[in-house]
């Protein structure tokens, strides 16, 4: 995958879609009330549950293989001015995918509405840091026995 070739716009959109995917429906709903409530939109693709086959690599770095599937929900919307948004999220929450698609379009329409993502990103970072700090507390400290004399 030619990932290095992303434009600045693509990179920003990718980053924002990631924040939306990492969040939950419960987290996103109040922000939608604030930034998009009553905006008319139509579905390009109604919320749909499906599967993505997750791939790994032999030895972590080698030949690709199919590890197993995961449930994914996707949705595509069009706002009344024609702006299109896509949402792909892990799991089977249709409203989560719909909100992700709506925000994806909304951010294109009005960049200033994306400010709340910082709150969600900080929340995710705090959760990760907390988990990581707990794992770090289980790190083994090896020590060498010091002999009594000299």
Partner 1 sequence: MYVAVKGGERAIENAHKLLAEKRRGNPDIPEIKTDQIREQLTLSVSRVMAEGSLYDPDLASLAIKQARGDLIEAVFLMRAYRTTLPRFGYSLPIDTGTMQISRRISATYKDLPGGQVLGPTFDYTHRLLDFTLTANGEEPLEAESSSEGVDNTMPRVLDDLLNHEGLIQQEERVSDESHEPVGDLTRQPLEFPADRDIRLQNLSRGDEGFILSLGYSTQRGYARNHAFVGEIRYGSVDVEIAPEELDFPIHLGEIDITECENVNQFKGSKTAPPQFTRGYGLTFGQNERKAIAMALVDRALRDKEMGEEVTSPAQDEEFVLSHSDNIEATGFVEHIKLPHYVDFQSELELVRKMRREQAEQHPQRAAE
Interacting residues toward partner 1 by CB under 8 A:
1, 3, 6, 10, 13-14, 17-18, 21-22, 48-72, 74, 76, 86, 88-92, 128-140, 142
The nearer residue to partner 1, 33 or 123, going by C-beta atoms, is 123
Which residues, in sequence order, are bridge partners of residue 73? Answer: 49, 89
Enter the tokens of residue 4. 């290095």
| CB 118, min distance to partner 1, A | 17
Calpha distance 62→77 (Å, rounded): 38
| CB 91, min distance to partner 1, A | 7
The nearer residue to partner 1, 86 or 95, going by C-beta atoms, is 86
| CB 36, min distance to partner 1, A | 20
Calpha distance 59→107 (Å, rounded): 40
Calpha distance 14→100 (Å, rounded): 12
């Amino acid at each position: 995958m030619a990932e290095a070739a992303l434009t600045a716009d693509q990179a920003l959109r990718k980053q924002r879609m990631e924040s939306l995917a990492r969040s939950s429906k419960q987290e996103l709903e109040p922000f939608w009330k604030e930034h998009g409530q009553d905006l008319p939109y139509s579905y390009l693709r109604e919320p749909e549950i499906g599967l993505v086959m997750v791939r790994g690599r032999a030895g972590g770095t080698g030949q690709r293989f199919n590890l197993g599937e995961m449930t994914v929900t996707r949705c595509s919307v069009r706002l009344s001015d024609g702006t299109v948004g896509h949402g792909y999220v892990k799991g089977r929450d249709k409203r989560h995918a719909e909100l992700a698609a709506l925000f994806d379009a909304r951010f294109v329409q009005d960049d200033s509405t994306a400010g709340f993502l910082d709150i969600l990103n900080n929340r995710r970072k705090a959760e990760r840091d907390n988990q990581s700090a707990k794992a770090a507390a289980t790190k083994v400290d090896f020590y060498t026995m010091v002999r009594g004399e000299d």
